[in-house]
Amino acid sequence: MANKYDDTNTFVMFKDDVEEGSNKPMFTGYGNWNGEKVRFAGWVNKDSKGQVRINGKLSEFQAQKASAQAEESPF
């Protein structure tokens, strides 16, 4: 019997196409934090010394409306 992969405390992020100067996150993704699914958003910035850093935000995971509607639709 194969072992099930344990994805606890892992995440994946994807690069989004955003216009320069936009407030939208440059990276978005999702993960598992202590058994709960969470959403990640990240922005690439430079600090006052010119070093690159990624600032991020975690939020409650919400399924996309389009996919939720598709699952509910009988067609």
Q: Is residue 2 part of a domain?
A: no
Q: Is residue 16 part of a domain?
A: yes
pLDDT score of 75: 37
pLDDT score of 51: 96
pLDDT score of 56: 93
Domain region containing 40: 10-61
**Phi, psi values for residue 59, rounded to 5°:** -150, 165
List, for the chain, all residue ranges whose pLDDT scores fall below the cut of 50.
Answer: 67-70, 73-75
Q: Is residue 27 part of a domain?
A: yes
How far, in Å, CA of 58 to CA of 56, rounded? 7
Number of domains observed in the structure of the chain: 1
pLDDT score of 1: 60
Q: Is residue 75 part of a domain?
A: no
- pLDDT mean across residues, the chain: 84
Any idea which residue has 């202590």 for tokens? 34
pLDDT score of 32: 93
